[in-house]
Amino acid sequence: MALKGSGLGLRREMLDDVSALTPKDVDFLEVAPENWIGVGGRYGKAFREFTERFPFSCHGLSLSIGSADPLDIEFVKAVKHFLDVHGIDTYSEHLSYCSDNGHMYDLMPIAFSLDAAQYVADRVKQVQDIIQRPLVLENVSTYVMLGDGMSELEFMKEVIHRSGCKMLLDVNNVYVNATNHSFNPHEYIQSLPSESIEYLHIAGHFDEAEDLLVDTHGADVKPKVWELLKYAYQCHGVLPTLLERDFNIPSVSDLLAEVNLIKLYQQEVNYERQLA
Amino acid sequence: MSASLHKFKQHQQAFSEYIRTTTLSSAVSNLEDRRLKIYRELFFNNVEGFVSSAFPVLNEILNDDQWEVLVRDFFVTHPCDTPYFLKISEEFLQYLEYSKLDFLPVFSYQLAHWEWMELFADVAETGDESEELPNITLTDTVTTNDCTWNVGYDFSVHKISSDYIPEEAEATFLIVHRDSDLSVGFIEINPLSMLLFEQLKNNENTSVQDLLRDISEQQDISLDVIMQGGLDIIRQWGLIGLLKVC
């Protein structure tokens, strides 16, 4: 089932609080498959109850598509099985790497170059062959630039072009990186191929310094990021959009207030487009 | 592989190495320290968070400096194979088996194993949860439920806290069980009960009385004592949901 409307990232620590949510509150939920594959007991039971009531997407953390380590084929097969068992069509991951001689459980920046783009694209195709779905890759927040001077935007477009993958456009990450690496976030968003964008993410960040933001998923979405979300809709159409909140998780009503803002921007831009 | 492809991998590997060890190399020395700091703190705090939430007691009995040295040593020296976040605890256990840090108490691995065991029982994807099985008789044939696990340690790991550090070894046997309400509990048992539980776990078609008779012969204990004591224990275990009919 294709995603639509507004979504919320589901975490284990939220389970009790969000158990009363209905599809009227939020259209879809998202989990990291690495936190739920092979999990039984009370968490496994709660997860099955949610998947029976809501459409789901999966947003992976451990694929490490840009790593020098070999792809973990057994893991990719396990993800495919998990997606099939729970009837989940969308599997997104990060245009990043998180392992180097073993997993490091967080995201590191790929050293952008044409060779790296080809290397990643070849691995994307391998993954897509196994999962029998397009791989959807997210632009990630970075705090340093490795590589030979190729820009993130060029790299993203190269990988999409060479692999046929889809993109998960994380609007907050565009804002964070535009600040951290001094580029124009509007130009970045506007230059992306509309037909490749599968869905959007939005989240809060932390202002470490005027020119250095950290993607924490631990605060409310900033006004400038909301503006950028609206701009993304204006450029590429109103796409399904999910709120991520991983730390300092507030009450359900606060989470829903932000989900409702997504809905509001979606309605607003739909209306604008109808008028135009 | 082209030279440039090799270069991008080398660059990334140097960066990862820096995040683990925080030792500057020429490959990262041109990067601003305040930006590198974000990565070194983000990664270390993340791993530290996983380890401290899985092993709260081990964390509690070590001081802050020791804990930081321990987690850093794990992060630097142990390549984690698992892509699954809940299994980072298993990677940490593997690391503890060979860790050479001299401040670790002698029971550290066993304590950590016990903490892991409780987590494992909570999330294991296994068959039946424990259900109550009353009125077991000598002629019944019973075995253990899938959601029960027996473990033995050289120290009373389940009692350890900052208020109780065992001075001496003390053989300790525990059964962990996940019940039909999906909550996890445990009971402490004696060595003979451990033997009985092991026999029940492997049991396919031996009745309770034959099984107890075998133990009586193996252990050279009077049949009457074993029959009565053993049946009492088996009945108690049935009532708390550890057993099922074969």
Q: What is the DSSP string of B87-108?
A: GHHHHHHHHHHH---TTS-TTH
* B44–chain A Cβ distance below 8 A for any pair: no
Residue A138 reports pLDDT greater than 60: yes
- The per-residue pLDDT for A148 is 83
Residue-averaged pLDDT of chain A: 97
Q: How many residues does chain B have?
A: 246
Task: State how far the Cα of B161 lies from the Cα of B155, in Å rounded to an integer.
Answer: 13
A196-211 confidence digits (pLDDT tens): 999 999 999 999 999 9
Interface of B with A in 83-112 (CB under 8 A): 83-86, 88
A100-134 confidence digits (pLDDT tens): 999 999 999 999 999 999 999 999 999 999 999 99
Task: State how far the Cα of B108 lies from the Cα of B114, in Å rounded to an integer.
Answer: 10
Residue A181 reports pLDDT greater than 70: yes
- The per-residue pLDDT for B2 is 67
Helix (H, G, I), strand (E, B) or coil at A151: coil
CA neighbor of B105 nearest in space, from B56, B160, B159, B44 = B160
Which residues, at least 6 apart from B181, have a Cβ–Cβ distance to it below 8 Å?
none
Helix (H, G, I), strand (E, B) or coil at B217: helix
Query: What would the mean pLDDT of A14-30 be, rounded to a whole number?
Result: 94
CB contact under 8 A, B178 and A41: yes
CB contact under 8 A, B88 and A105: yes
- Two tokens at A253? 């009503």
Residue A15 reports pLDDT greater than 60: yes
Low pLDDT (below 70) residues in chain B: 1-4
Q: What is the DSSP letter of A12?
A: G
Task: State how far the Cα of B24 lies from the Cα of B151, in Å rounded to an integer.
Answer: 44
CB contact under 8 A, A43 and B8: no
Tell the burial category of A195 from Cβ atoms under 10 Å away from its Cβ (0-12, 13-18, 19+).
exposed
- The DSSP code sequence of A119-141 is HHHHHHHHHHHHHTS-EEEE---
Task: State how far the Cα of A118 lies from the Cα of A163, in Å rounded to an integer.
Answer: 8
CB contact under 8 A, B34 and A212: yes
The answer to whether A192 and A175 are in contact (CB under 8 A) is: no
The answer to whether B138 and A58 are in contact (CB under 8 A) is: no
